[in-house]
């Protein structure tokens, strides 16, 4: 069935072109991860990162696909762009001008995207400068300095290099979204995590061979991963279906309407956005704190260790917030109720218009709370359990959620293209994604 799905893809020139563009741009991104920033002692930097495994640096390195560990031109990753997007979305709620732009359709969207790009550059400059200053004070465990020639020359070159790298990643993500298949930003993060998994598997096998990790621990790890992946797939496809009845209408001599349909509401409407946004918000100040050699900043950095209670409480708080916030931004209940009313649809027992919007909002709030709890548990519990077994950080719940969630979304988009051209789904008739039937 999977082979048949691939054959169907090859029969669609437009879809095949989109996939080739997506893979080519992701390949360019992975090549850039290995292009180093000038003036860095690679061996000393690698030694430093070996001593920071399991910390927030490791999480940042995971999201950047290993670019931070190499301090490549893509070391900042896509996080400044995500942070700028968050700031713009929050400001849209409180700034009238941005709120008006968000309602102006394509023109307003382009303007907000332009502001997001400017914000990305500003945040990249700030974060790049903080990293460049911090790198000058860093040394490997053996005492070798990470920066070979410190000074303003190194700082300026590093800021320009890292900012340009982030801007290029941002452009790659936008091109994937517009010309390829799937969400470009999510796919870039997906590619970075997947690219690190072979290394994580190799490290795990090394621990087994040296006796630091037992076979029983490996079995527990595999079972836990299977359970988490199964839960993610189940919850990502879960829906709350609100029945909608359409009234009969006479158009000319023909009778239209009268059928019963439903309004599908996903349990996790926000998808993988909340953990990505939450990680971005936490990483920005925590990364700066790691590079500033002050006692207060060191205390903040220590408190933001992924295994600490403070970090996990803040992380869960941000996840819950962004689950509700992103759902509210992307799903306007008033617009849904208005469109339903114009088409002659109504929810049985609920009056059309405002009452319908209130009912949908009530249902959406309840299921979003359940979705937020699910996302929080998936992102936090596996990581905490794996810390007990001394398992590599890459297998954390956040990484699994992003990988599985992005994979499901991308396959769904591929399937939509194929079905719209009268082909079977990617997995054939019996393998159609449940949420799309």
Q: List CB contacts of 97: < 8 A, sequence separation 6 or more.
A: none
Model pLDDT for residues 131-181, shown as the tens digit of each residue: 888 777 776 666 677 777 788 888 898 899 999 999 999 999 989 988 888
Model pLDDT for residues 113-122, shown as the tens digit of each residue: 888 999 999 9
Return the pLDDT at 367: 92
pLDDT tier at 284, thresholds 50, 70, 90 = low
Model pLDDT for residues 37-89, shown as the tens digit of each residue: 887 777 777 776 665 555 556 666 666 666 677 778 888 888 888 888 888 88
The burial of 207, by beta-carbon neighbours within 10 Å (0-12 exposed, 13-18 middle, 19 or more buried), is given as middle
Return the pLDDT at 329: 79
pLDDT at 1 over 50: no
Supply the CATH number for residue 356's domain.
1.10.3370.10
Residue 253's domain comprises: 2-436
The total number of structural domains that make up the chain: 1
> What is the rounded distance in angstroms from the CA atom of residue 373 to the CA atom of residue 379?
10
Identify the weakest region by mean pLDDT among 2-6, 50-54, 57-61, 274-278.
Answer: 2-6
| pLDDT above 70: percentage of residues in the chain | 76
Return the pLDDT at 238: 87
Tokens 């359409």 -> residue: 246
> What is the rounded distance in angstroms from the CA atom of residue 378 to the CA atom of residue 17?
35
More confident residue, 104 or 168: 168
What is the average per-residue pLDDT within 337-341? 84
> What is the rounded distance in angstroms from the CA atom of residue 258 to the CA atom of residue 249?
8
Strands 254-256 and 249-251 come out as antiparallel
**Helix or strand (DSSP H, E) at 271:** none
pLDDT at 437 over 50: no
> What is the rounded distance in angstroms from the CA atom of residue 37 to the CA atom of residue 76?
11
Return the pLDDT at 172: 92
Angstrom CA distances, 93 to 97, 281, 282, stand at 10, 18, 22
**Helix or strand (DSSP H, E) at 373:** helix 354-388
Return the pLDDT at 56: 57
More confident residue, 361 or 384: 361
Return the pLDDT at 167: 92
Look at residues 171, 174, 181, 177 and name the one whose alpha carbon lies nearest to residue 20: 181
Q: What is the DSSP letter of 246?
A: E
Return the pLDDT at 306: 67
More confident residue, 187 or 203: 187
> What is the rounded distance in angstroms from the CA atom of residue 61 to the CA atom of residue 405?
20
What is the average per-residue pLDDT within 332-358? 83
Enumerate helices (H) and strands (E) in the chain, giving the number of each: 17, 5
Top-ranked range on mean pLDDT: pick from 165-174, 332-341, 423-432: 165-174
Q: Collapse the DSSP code of 244 into the 3-class scheme (helix H, G, I; strand E, B; otherwise coil) and give the result.
A: strand
Q: Model pTM?
A: 0.76
Q: Collapse the DSSP code of 51 into the 3-class scheme (helix H, G, I; strand E, B; otherwise coil) and give the result.
A: coil
Contact assessment for residue 410 and residue 362, using Cβ atoms and an 8 Å cutoff: no
pLDDT tier at 224, thresholds 50, 70, 90 = confident
Q: What is the DSSP letter of 395?
A: G
Contact assessment for residue 299 and residue 141, using Cβ atoms and an 8 Å cutoff: no
Which residues face 145 on adjacent strands? 139
> What is the rounded distance in angstroms from the CA atom of residue 295 to the CA atom of residue 146?
21
């Amino acid at each position: 069935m999977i082979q048949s799905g691939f054959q169907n893809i090859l029969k669609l020139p437009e879809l095949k072109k989109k996939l080739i563009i997506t893979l080519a741009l992701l390949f360019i991104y992975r090549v850039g991860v290995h292009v180093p920033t000038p003036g860095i002692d690679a061996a000393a930097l690698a030694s430093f990162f070996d001593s920071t495994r399991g910390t927030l640096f490791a999480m940042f390195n995971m999201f950047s696909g290993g670019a931070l560990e190499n301090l490549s031109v893509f070391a900042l990753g896509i996080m400044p762009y995500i942070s700028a997007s968050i700031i713009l979305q929050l400001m849209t709620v409180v700034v009238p001008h941005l709120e008006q732009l968000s309602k102006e359709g394509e023109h307003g969207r382009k303007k907000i995207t332009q502001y997001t790009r400017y914000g990305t550059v500003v945040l990249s400059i700030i974060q790049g400068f903080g990293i460049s200053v911090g790198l000058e004070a860093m040394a490997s465990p053996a005492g070798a300095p990470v920066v070979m020639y410190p000074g303003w020359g190194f700082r300026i070159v590093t800021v320009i290099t890292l900012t340009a790298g982030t801007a290029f990643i941002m452009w790659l993500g936008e091109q994937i979204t517009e010309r390829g298949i799937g969400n470009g930003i999510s796919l870039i993060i997906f590619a970075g995590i997947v690219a690190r998994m072979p290394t994580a598997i190799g490290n795990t096998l090394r621990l087994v061979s040296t006796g630091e990790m037992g076979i029983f621990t490996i079995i527990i790890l595999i079972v836990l991963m299977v359970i988490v992946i199964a839960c993610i797939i189940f919850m990502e496809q879960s829906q709350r279906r609100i029945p909608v009845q359409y009234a009969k209408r006479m158009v000319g001599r023909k009778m239209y309407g009268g059928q019963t349909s439903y309004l599908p509401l996903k349990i996790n409407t926000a998808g993988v956005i909340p953990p990505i946004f939450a990680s971005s918000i936490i990483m920005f100040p925590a990364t700066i704190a790691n590079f500033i050699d002050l006692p207060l900043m060191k205390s903040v950095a220590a408190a933001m260790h992924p295994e600490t209670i403070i970090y996990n409480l803040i992380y869960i708080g941000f996840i819950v917030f962004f689950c509700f916030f992103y759902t509210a931004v992307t799903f306007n209940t008033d617009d849904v109720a208005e469109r339903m009313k114009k088409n002659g649809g109504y929810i049985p027992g609920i009056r059309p218009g405002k009452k319908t919007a209130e009912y949908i909002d009530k249902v959406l709030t309840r299921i979003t709370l359940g979705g937020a709890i699910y996302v929080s548990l998936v992102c936090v519990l596996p990581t905490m359990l794996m810390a007990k077994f001394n398992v590599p950080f890459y297998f954390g719940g956040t990484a699994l959620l992003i990988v599985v969630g992005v994979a499901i979304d991308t396959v769904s988009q591929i399937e939509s293209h194929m079905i719209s051209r009268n082909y079977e789904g990617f997995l054939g008739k019996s393998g159609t994604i449940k949420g799309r039937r």
